[in-house]
Amino acid sequence: MNPFVYQSLPTRVVFGWGKLATLADEIDRLGAKRALILTTPEQQELGEEVARLLGKRSAGVYPYAVMHVPLEVAQAARVEAARLGADCCVAVGGGSTIGLGKAIAMDSGLPIVAVPTTYAGSEMTPIYGLTENRLKKTGRDINVLPKTVIYDAQLTLSLPAQISACSGMNAMAHAVEALYAQDANPIIGFMAEESIRALAQSLPLIVNDPEHPQARSQAQYGAWLAGICLGSVGMALHHKLCHTLGGTFNLPHAQAHAIVLPHAAHYNREAAAGPLQRAARALGGSEASEVGALLYALNERLGIPLSLAELGMPEGGPAEAAQIACASPYYNPRPFEQGPIEDLLTRAWKGLAPA
Ligand X SMILES: NC(=O)c1ccc[n+]([C@@H]2O[C@H](COP(=O)([O-])OP(=O)(O)OC[C@H]3O[C@@H](n4cnc5c(N)ncnc54)[C@H](O)[C@@H]3O)[C@@H](O)[C@H]2O)c1
Q: Which residues bind ligand X (CB under 6 A)?
A: 40, 42-43, 67-68, 93-97, 99, 117-118, 120-122, 125, 127, 129, 155-156, 158-159, 167, 230, 253-254
Of 73 and 306, nearer to ligand X (C-beta) is: 73
Q: How far is it, in rounded angstroms, from Cα 137 to Cα 129?
A: 6
3-state DSSP assignment of residue 332: coil
Q: Which of 310, 345, 309 is nearest to 326 (CA)?
A: 345
Q: How far is the CB of 111 from ligand X (least distance, A)?
A: 17
CB-based burial label for 140 (10 Å; 0-12, 13-18, 19+): exposed
Q: Among all residues, whose Cβ is closest to ligand X?
A: 95
Q: How far is the CB of 307 from ligand X (least distance, A)?
A: 20
Q: How far is it, in rounded angstroms, from Cα 15 to Cα 47?
A: 20
CB-based burial label for 64 (10 Å; 0-12, 13-18, 19+): middle
Of 68 and 263, nearer to ligand X (C-beta) is: 68
Q: How far is the CB of 167 from ligand X (least distance, A)?
A: 5
Q: Indicate the residue type of 80.
A: E
Of 159 and 344, nearer to ligand X (C-beta) is: 159
Of 120 and 288, nearer to ligand X (C-beta) is: 120
Q: How far is the CB of 277 from ligand X (least distance, A)?
A: 26
Of 93 and 354, nearer to ligand X (C-beta) is: 93
Q: How far is the CB of 316 from ligand X (least distance, A)?
A: 24
Largest interatomic CA distance in the chain = 59
Q: How far is it, in rounded angstroms, from Cα 175 to Cα 189?
A: 8
